[in-house]
Structure 1
Amino acid sequence: MFQPCCSKSTMSRSGVAVNDSALQAFNELKLGKKVTFIIYKINDAKTEIVVEEEGTTDSYDTFLGKLPENDCRYAVYDFEYEISSGEGKRSKLVFFTWSPDTAPVRSKMIYASSKDSLRRALTGISTEIQGTDFSEVAYESVLERVSRGAGSH
């Protein structure tokens, strides 16, 4: 029996669908906390958003090092930080749209037009970050956005 890869509700206006395994990976991160980040990419056929890598790291810099310098990606990171008032640690799920200035124009266009379908499918995201260079996704920049509870960039 034929099993579709994706539900129609996760199809973007670019025609790129969100693969069901991409949603499953997010739900496992959100509920199980077995991984601290997921990096998504659009497959080579430009038909689906798929998981490129999942990982566990205590280092935000290690996560950033996995983002390509010259191509686009989406990512979710379980961002843990200390509350300045001494109330302990907090954790928030952050969605990244990584679109470096050096990425090919076609790649930037397809990632931009496909983002909403993935973003809508990932329920429980607290903050969204758009990054075009590493300074925009640096720890301090993200900490500032997360700690003030900002939404979209």
Structure 2
Amino acid sequence: MASGVGVNPECLSAFETLKLGKKLKFIVFTLNSDNTEIIVHKTSDSPDYDEFLAELPERECRWAVYDFEYEKGEGKRNKICFYSWSPDDAKVKQKMLLASSKDALRRSLVGIATEVQGTDFSEVAYESVLDKVSRR
């Protein structure tokens, strides 16, 4: 179900910076004020996962990309994760827009290893995502 929402070019350039340059740790995306385009809401180079989670509002939908680092076997691994954040307390219209616009953003971000869908913070907790990325 396509919503006709476009993806701002800044979304792609921020993602390329995260993916290739390793200068960013996470990107949070949102819709612009008239719901016609997906835009970058925030970027950060902070490796603090709790700081990333603090950018996911309790009552608003967001998409995000996080460069997830974890220990496995002999060393550190990284997986780029795509998050669809649709909290239970968000407005129904916003949830529908998030769901229908997700594919436009997701298809434009080449190099995602894992997708994470969250409706509450337990689903995006570090341990939950670690379990998901380490299975692959």
**Would you call these one fold, judging by a TM-score over 0.5?**
yes
* 3-state SS in 2 of match to 1:144: helix
Q: How far apart are the structure 2 equivalents of 1:113 and 1:22?
A: 18
The CA deviation string for residues 37-68 of structure 1, in whole angstroms up to 9 with x for no partner, is 00000111111000000001121111001111
Q: How far apart are the structure 2 equivalents of 1:100 and 1:48?
A: 21
Give the structure 2 partner of residue 89 of structure 1.
Answer: 76
Q: TM-score, normalised by structure 1?
A: 0.87
* 3-state SS in 2 of match to 1:14: coil
The structure carrying a bigger strand percent of its residues is 2
Q: How far apart are the structure 2 equivalents of 1:58 and 1:115?
A: 25
Matches within 5 A, 1:27-66: 27-66=16-55
Structure 1 residue runs without a partner (length 5+): 1-11
Q: Which residue identity lines up with residue 118 of structure 2 in the other structure? A: G
Give the structure 1 partner of residue 110 of structure 2.
Answer: 123
Structure 2 residue runs without a partner (length 5+): none
Aligned Cα RMSD in Å? 0.9
Give the 4+ runs in structure 1 shifted more than 4 A: none
Q: How far apart are the structure 2 equivalents of 1:139 and 1:21?
A: 27
* 3-state SS in 1 of match to 2:89: coil
Does structure 1 residue 102 correspond to structure 2 residue 89?
yes
Once the two structures are aligned, what percentage of the paired residues are identical? 60
Larger of the two Rg values belongs to structure? 1
Give the structure 2 partner of residue 76 of structure 1.
Answer: 65
Q: How many residue pairs were aligned?
A: 136
* 3-state SS in 2 of match to 1:51: strand
